[in-house]
């Protein structure tokens, strides 16, 4: 394949015109994907590296050991990391292991599997990540085979703040069982803080395989070593965050804006923390004092009552301020509250996902405790509440451009609901409670797939309205610092040009220097009819299609509920109008872009 690639001459204009004339839309789509695949392929690596694991993690398979296949479907890279850990642990038991992205797995191969582990996340409101879509659809189609010979296990990743927690993992688990496959262990469902639960599941499933296939018991110590956390570059992580001083803090919106957007520059000096454009900074916030007082009033509990938290004695007020979620309601909290109080309305909500989403939207724990009163002790209250989780913000700076710093673009969330003013737990703390010189507890959260192309000459299309522009500031800064020659095109939107053009001066300077090739904006409230980024994509459809045909990677960041879906609709329209594709072909083209990881989303 690599010889064929080097033998192909550049296409001149005459040949390009002939290709367009002779090939229909579907054939052009196939050829585009084929040529792009040739351009990005890497030479195959010999030996154990074919599993994606270091050679030391792949000892020679023990005689008679059956082959184990591990599939992962990942949105940000967490599922991939856990799949590789499971493979390392299985490898020390002597199993030949294949680790594959579901994106690269042929579904028809399922009928030949005998030992299968699946590690998969859930995207949005219960959807599979793009990498898992094809396998998920195949299993739920009439083509899915009966699998009576298959033994399997499912490790599901999710976030309990979403109603359809771990839905994709549940779908895989239940469908495989319906097809006759037998579980090795029960499905594990992991929340955002997943490592301990995932490690227990990996140990349990390998213990079961070990028992059924007779691996030597002496290997168990090596399995534990394989599951141990890898040595980190920095001593600071999610469980041990770094106190990052605020260097600068600027409100980006002009006077009179309905938005409140802050630019924060944090120092990482001395932390050893490293990040890449596309990664996020995890911030451990504090609950607002007013909300803590509302919860104390609703439960009639004394603020200074001493409680035991993680083996330490502290005040209830301190735990409510720093340790538990108060600003949002999740399904597991409602389940615990129902188990305690037996209110019929709670039972009805738990059985109706749509009603549950509507009820929890905009409400906080104080609202919940008032609507479903009970006689509380401090210990009982803390058993119901969820541990406080960090908030993740796309890093808005290029590490080569802003060395030793991480910049954030934060929209302060303030609203009224249920007759009370409400606010975002992290965004308003960053806006109001963190002056320059103060420190935020932070860590770096990797996002493996939302990354600049490996080839710096690859063109990039960036769609980021509002604070969704943050990672693209990092992309443009990094490409400028590294001297990358690839073209870049940014679509940005917000309500008003005068007050809401975030980083306007920087973008204009980047255009002048050439580190940004094109900029199209959509200020939705500056004219009688609303104009959004998706409308600009359609308006520039001819050029957008040409960029796609020339191998551009597409990045979308921002609101997942409306914007991200509308942008996909716009791309389908562009493909139909300018690529001559039918609705079905346009949909297939977009799916192909996703499978090639040329259409990437970071939406929330």
Residue range(s) defining the domain that contains residue 6: 2-40
446-486 pLDDT per residue, tens: 998 999 999 999 999 999 999 999 999 999 999 999 999 99
Element (H, E) at 266: strand 261-267
Q: Which residue has the higher pLDDT, 212 or 221?
A: 212
Q: Which of 322, 333, 392 is nearest to 360 (CA)?
A: 333
Domain stops at, among 384, 400, 420: 384
Whether 251 and 400 map to the same domain: the answer is: yes
pLDDT of residue 56: 34
The CA angle 111-113-119, to the nearest 5 degrees, is: 110
The CA angle 379-380-386, to the nearest 5 degrees, is: 90
Distance in angstroms (rounded) separating the CA atoms of residues 284 and 305: 24
| pLDDT reading at 221 higher than 60 | no
Q: How confident is residue 159, by pLDDT bands cut at 50, 70 and 90?
A: confident
Whether 328 and 262 map to the same domain: the answer is: no
Answer yes or no: are the C-beta atoms of 557 and 472 closer than 8 Å. yes
Question: Count of residues for the chain?
Answer: 604
Whether 181 and 248 map to the same domain: the answer is: no
Q: Name the least confident of 94-98, 124-128, 247-251.
A: 124-128
Whether 576 and 494 map to the same domain: the answer is: yes
- Within a domain: 298: yes
- Within a domain: 452: no
Average pLDDT score, the chain: 88
Whether 432 and 489 map to the same domain: the answer is: no
Orientation angle between helical segments 541-549 and 25-40, nearest 10 degrees: 50
Whether 416 and 431 map to the same domain: the answer is: yes
Distance in angstroms (rounded) separating the CA atoms of residues 241 and 518: 38
- Within a domain: 577: yes
195-216 pLDDT per residue, tens: 889 999 999 999 899 888 875 5
305-357 pLDDT per residue, tens: 999 999 999 999 999 999 999 999 999 999 999 999 999 999 999 999 899 98
Whether 103 and 215 map to the same domain: the answer is: yes
Distance in angstroms (rounded) separating the CA atoms of residues 120 and 325: 26
> How many CA within 13 A on the CB side of residue 334?
29
pLDDT of residue 112: 95
- Within a domain: 455: no
- Within a domain: 235: no
- Within a domain: 492: yes
Whether 492 and 567 map to the same domain: the answer is: yes
Distance in angstroms (rounded) separating the CA atoms of residues 255 and 487: 34
Whether 121 and 139 map to the same domain: the answer is: yes
Tokens linked to 262: 């802050």
pLDDT of residue 5: 34
CA dihedral in degrees (166, 172, 178, 183; nearest 10)? -90
Whether 103 and 170 map to the same domain: the answer is: yes
Whether 101 and 131 map to the same domain: the answer is: yes
pLDDT of residue 76: 84
- Within a domain: 315: yes
Whether 157 and 56 map to the same domain: the answer is: yes
CATH number at residue 260: 2.40.30.10
Strands (E), 17-93: 68-73
% of residues, the chain, pLDDT over 70 = 86
| pLDDT reading at 43 higher than 80 | no
What's the whole-number mean pLDDT along residues 525-538?
97
Domain tally, the chain: 5
The dihedral through the CA atoms of 478, 480, 481, 486 has a sign that is positive
- Within a domain: 451: no
Tokens linked to 228: 């141990």
Q: Which of 370, 83, 24 is nearest to 226 (CA)?
A: 83
What's the whole-number mean pLDDT along residues 70-96?
91
Orientation angle between helical segments 25-40 and 583-595, nearest 10 degrees: 10
pLDDT of residue 59: 47
pLDDT of residue 228: 64
Answer yes or no: are the C-beta atoms of 388 and 316 closer than 8 Å. no
Domain stops at, among 178, 194, 227: 227
What's the whole-number mean pLDDT along residues 25-38?
43
3-state helix, strand, coil in the chain (%, to 5): 45, 20, 40
**CA–CA distances in Å: residue 537 to residues 544, 567, 591:** 7, 8, 18
Q: Name the least confident of 85-94, 149-158, 469-478, 507-516.
A: 85-94
% of residues, the chain, pLDDT over 90 = 77
């Amino acid at each position: 394949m690599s010889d064929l690639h080097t033998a192909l001459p550049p296409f001149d204009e005459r040949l390009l015109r002939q290709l367009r004339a002779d090939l229909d839309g579907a054939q052009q789509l196939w050829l585009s994907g084929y040529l792009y695949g040739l351009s990005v392929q890497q030479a195959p690596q010999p030996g154990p590296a074919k599993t994606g694991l270091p050679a030391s993690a792949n000892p020679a398979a023990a005689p008679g050991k059956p082959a184990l296949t591990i599939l992962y479907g990942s949105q940000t890279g967490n599922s991939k990391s856990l799949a590789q850990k499971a493979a390392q642990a299985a490898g020390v038991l002597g199993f030949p292991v294949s680790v594959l992205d579901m994106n690269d797995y042929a579904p028809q191969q399922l009928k030949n599997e005998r030992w299968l582990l699946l590690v998969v996340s859930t995207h949005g409101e219960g959807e599979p990540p793009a990498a898992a879509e094809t396998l998920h659809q195949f299993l739920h189609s009439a083509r899915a085979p009966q699998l009576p010979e298959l033994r399997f296990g499912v490790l599901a990743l999710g976030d309990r703040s979403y109603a359809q927690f771990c839905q994709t993992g549940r779908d895989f688990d239940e469908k495989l069982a319906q097809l006759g496959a037998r579980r090795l262990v029960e499905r594990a469902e992991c929340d955002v803080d997943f490592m301990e639960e995932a490690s227990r599941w990996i140990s349990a499933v390998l213990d079961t395989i070990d028992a059924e296939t007779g691996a030597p018991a002496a290997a168990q110590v090596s399995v534990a070593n394989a599951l141990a956390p890898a040595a980190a570059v920095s001593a600071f992580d999610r469980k041990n965050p770094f106190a990052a001083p605020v260097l600068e803090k600027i409100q980006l919106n002009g006077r009179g804006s309905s938005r409140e957007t802050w630019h924060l520059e944090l120092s990482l000096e001395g932390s050893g923390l490293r990040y890449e454009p596309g990664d996020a900074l995890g911030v451990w916030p504090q609950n607002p004092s007013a909300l803590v007082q509302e919860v104390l009033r609703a439960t009639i509990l004394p603020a200074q009552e001493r409680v035991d938290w993680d083996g330490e004695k502290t005040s209830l007020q301190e735990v409510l301020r720093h340790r538990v979620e108060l600003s949002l309601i999740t399904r597991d909290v409602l389940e615990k509250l129902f188990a305690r109080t037996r209110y019929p309305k709670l039972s009805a909500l738990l059985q109706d996902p749509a009603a549950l989403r509507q009820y929890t939207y905009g409400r906080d724990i104080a609202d919940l405790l008032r609507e479903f009163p009970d006689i509380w002790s401090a210990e009982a209250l803390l058993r119901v509440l969820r541990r406080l989780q960090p908030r993740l913000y796309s890093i808005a700076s290029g590490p080569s451009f802003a060395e030793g710093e991480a910049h954030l673009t934060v929209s302060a969330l303030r609203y009224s609901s249920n007759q009370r003013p409400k606010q975002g737990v992290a965004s308003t703390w960053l806006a109001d409670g963190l002056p320059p010189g103060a420190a935020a507890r932070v860590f770096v959260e990797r996002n493996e797939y939302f990354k600049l192309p490996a080839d710096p000459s690859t063109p990039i299309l960036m769609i980021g309205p509002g604070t969704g522009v943050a990672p693209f500031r990092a992309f443009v800064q990094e490409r400028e610092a590294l001297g990358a020659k690839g073209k870049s095109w940014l679509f940005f939107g917000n309500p008003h040009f005068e007050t809401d053009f975030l980083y306007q001066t920087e973008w204009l300077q980047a255009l002048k220097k050439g580190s940004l090739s094109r900029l199209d904006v959509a200020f939705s409230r500056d004219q009688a009819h609303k104009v959004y980024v998706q409308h600009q994509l359609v308006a520039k459809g001819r050029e957008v299609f040409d960029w796609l045909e020339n191998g551009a990677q597409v990045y979308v960041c921002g609101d997942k509920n409306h914007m991200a879906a509308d942008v996909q609709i716009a791309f389908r329209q562009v493909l139909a109008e300018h690529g001559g594709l039918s609705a079905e072909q346009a949909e297939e083209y977009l799916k192909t872009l996703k499978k090639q990881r040329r259409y990437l989303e970071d939406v929330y």
